[in-house]
Structure 1
Amino acid sequence: MLRSHKLVLFACAAILGAQVSAFAADEDKVVATVGNLEIRQSELDMAVGNLDPQLAQLPDEQKRVAALSGAIDVKLLANNAVGEGIEKSDEYKRRMQFIGDRELHNLYFKKYVVDAVTDADVKARYDKEVAALPKQEELRARHILVKTEEEAKAIIADLDAGKDFIELAKEKSTDPNKSEGGDLGFFSKGRMVPEFEEAAFAMPVGSYSKTPVQTQFGFHVIKVEEKRDVAPPTFEEVQQQVRQLVMRDKYLELITKAKEASKIDIKDEALKAGYDAVNAQQP
């Protein structure tokens, strides 16, 4: 339900890396000059967004310093490149075409996916996913763990005679949780070893096992305290994951419509086969 599609993660990373803070024109101040060239706040913000992931973990002020240092280096060598006329080369023009297309993609993505997803969209998708979840039972149980079947049978006899399960657990159990009366808390299927789980889920609430339950750990006497349906994750816990799920669907919808409106002709047969295989895997 909550897995994010790689396409969306890639696109989000591109957006975040390219996004500029919302400065008004008069607030886009000059933060540094390099000769007669200016570095403005908006450029610094973009440089911060494009920091290497390791540098991105730095405190904010250190990130700004690292980004400014990088921006100054870029200005210096870019100025030298212009002095040599590199901006007129075919290689530069090809690179700028590629970068321009990528940034247009990012801005379109931001407009029709990132900014288009509302809190109401996310909540509606969460409600839909939760409603579709299959019911799953969990239970709370206690146990007393001993080494031999004879010890376990003796404990069951004590319980039959009216002795308290919690006190017997504190006295007899070899499990580290004996001080809590053998309390295992709530668990759902798949959390315990199969023999223990099968016995516990078959027992009614309030009952204890009438025969010892053997597992790789020894012999158990189990008591079931409570059963209930597993609660789904709260909206607050998974809100961001659900938002990415909605964004993924919006993105795929945009891409599908764009592909249907254009003829895509891949000349290389190997590339075409790979492209078709990748697209066939998309939801």
Structure 2
Amino acid sequence: MIKFKTKKIVTSIIATLAISAISLNAADYGSVNGEEITKEDIAIALRNPNIDFEKLPKKSKNQVIDQIVEKKLLTEKAIKAGVSSDAKYKETLAKFEKELALEIWMQNEAKKIKVSDKELKDFYDKNKDKFNVPATLEARHILIKDEKEAKDIIKTLDKAKDKKEEFIKLAKEKSVGPSGPKGGYLGKFSENQMVAEFSKAASALKVGTYTKVPVKTQFGYHVIYLEGKEAPKTLTFDEVKGKINQVIFQEKFQDEIRAQAEELKTKAKIIIK
């Protein structure tokens, strides 16, 4: 896949200047020498779209605003100093303009790409095997190095009234695996994700039951408790329609850009040294 990224000309400057705290609210972030502090300024300063500025503590908000203020003041100073006349500035700006021109052109070309419902459905019908989801298990285990101790654990479980609660307790106390502190919880996994002996034993269990014989693997002896099981299935067209659209769109877009590039090569004067 071909990727094009615009280059950043100005890096974020974080100074340690002491400035007065700024009162914040959702609608008004203030201004610097008449230039407003915008949501875009804040988004650039945060550098993370997952952070909600409005939910940050007041101290953190002030720190972000301080950075923006400093950046605007220093940028203003740089412009007044005549940096736009600097040869390096002009060279970098020229390169950036070319990169930006390509980026915007690519975005406009992408808007011309259309994927029909028929194309989506045909892709799904021809590739159904790619949308098969294997059986999924949800389990806990207690990993023990000694077989006798594993058998003793099973005997203890046999006597317990609440099997799951006792299993979790024993896993925290005795399991040597990394899942021990979590009560032996392994989460959800496909049948073929674990070593063969483990997967076979776990798959044979009914939900809410545990292995009556220790399961030996290269890691030791396991006592397995099955919490859940989902049968294998094929994802429906509606479930994967969005992903199929992305795949076909990208293929079409790449093919179109590549075709245009090849045509331009035939008309261009290209010298390779």
TM-score by length of 2: 0.51
**Shift in Å, 1:139:** 0.9
Deviations 1:121-175 (A, max 9, x none): 9xx79x96x9743312221234444443234345556778998643663675512
For 1:229 and 1:219, the matched residues in 2 are separated by: 27
For 2:188 and 2:78, the matched residues in 1 are separated by: 57
Shift in CA distance, 159/262, structure 1 to aligned 2, threshold 3 Å? same
Match of 1:101 in 2: 98
Shift in CA distance, 162/261, structure 1 to aligned 2, threshold 3 Å? same
Match of residue 256, structure 1, among 239, 242, 258: 258
Shift in CA distance, 7/247, structure 1 to aligned 2, threshold 3 Å? farther
Deviations 1:232-253 (A, max 9, x none): 8xx9xxx9x9998788556534
Match of 2:202 in 1: 200
Match of 2:3 in 1: 7
Q: Which amino acid aligns with 2:106?
A: F
Match of 1:169 in 2: 167
1:209 and 1:221 in contact (8 A); partners too = yes
**Shift in Å, 1:185:** 4.2
Match of 2:138 in 1: 140
5+ residue gaps, structure 1: 18-29, 34-39, 270-283
**Shift in Å, 1:212:** 1.8
For 2:112 and 2:78, the matched residues in 1 are separated by: 34
2:132 and 2:232 in contact (8 A); partners too = no
Shift in CA distance, 229/265, structure 1 to aligned 2, threshold 3 Å? farther
Q: Which amino acid aligns with 2:150?
A: A
2:147 and 2:221 in contact (8 A); partners too = yes
Q: Which amino acid aligns with 2:190?
A: S
1:48 and 1:67 in contact (8 A); partners too = no
Does residue 268 of structure 1 match 2:269? no
Match of 1:26 in 2: none
Match of 1:281 in 2: none
Does residue 62 of structure 1 match 2:66? yes
For 1:41 and 1:258, the matched residues in 2 are separated by: 42
Q: Which amino acid aligns with 1:61?
A: I
**Shift in Å, 1:228:** 0.7
Match of 1:22 in 2: none
1:146 and 1:172 in contact (8 A); partners too = no
Deviations 1:80-122 (A, max 9, x none): 83xxxx78xxx98766654432232232234344x6799x99x
1:138 and 1:230 in contact (8 A); partners too = yes
Deviations 1:198-222 (A, max 9, x none): 4323x14246434321245542232
For 1:261 and 1:72, the matched residues in 2 are separated by: 45
1:47 and 1:71 in contact (8 A); partners too = no
Shift in CA distance, 101/193, structure 1 to aligned 2, threshold 3 Å? same
> What SS does the corresponding residue of 2:133 show, helix, strand or coil?
coil
Shift in CA distance, 199/72, structure 1 to aligned 2, threshold 3 Å? same
Shift in CA distance, 258/48, structure 1 to aligned 2, threshold 3 Å? farther
For 2:182 and 2:246, the matched residues in 1 are separated by: 41
> What SS does the corresponding residue of 1:64 show, helix, strand or coil?
helix
5+ residue gaps, structure 2: 12-30, 52-59
**Shift in Å, 1:7:** 0.7
Match of 1:219 in 2: 221
**Shift in Å, 1:227:** 1.3
Shift in CA distance, 73/228, structure 1 to aligned 2, threshold 3 Å? same
> What SS does the corresponding residue of 1:262 show, helix, strand or coil?
helix
Equivalenced residues, count: 220
**Shift in Å, 1:179:** 9.5
Match of residue 77, structure 1, among 78, 81, 89: 81
1:117 and 1:246 in contact (8 A); partners too = no
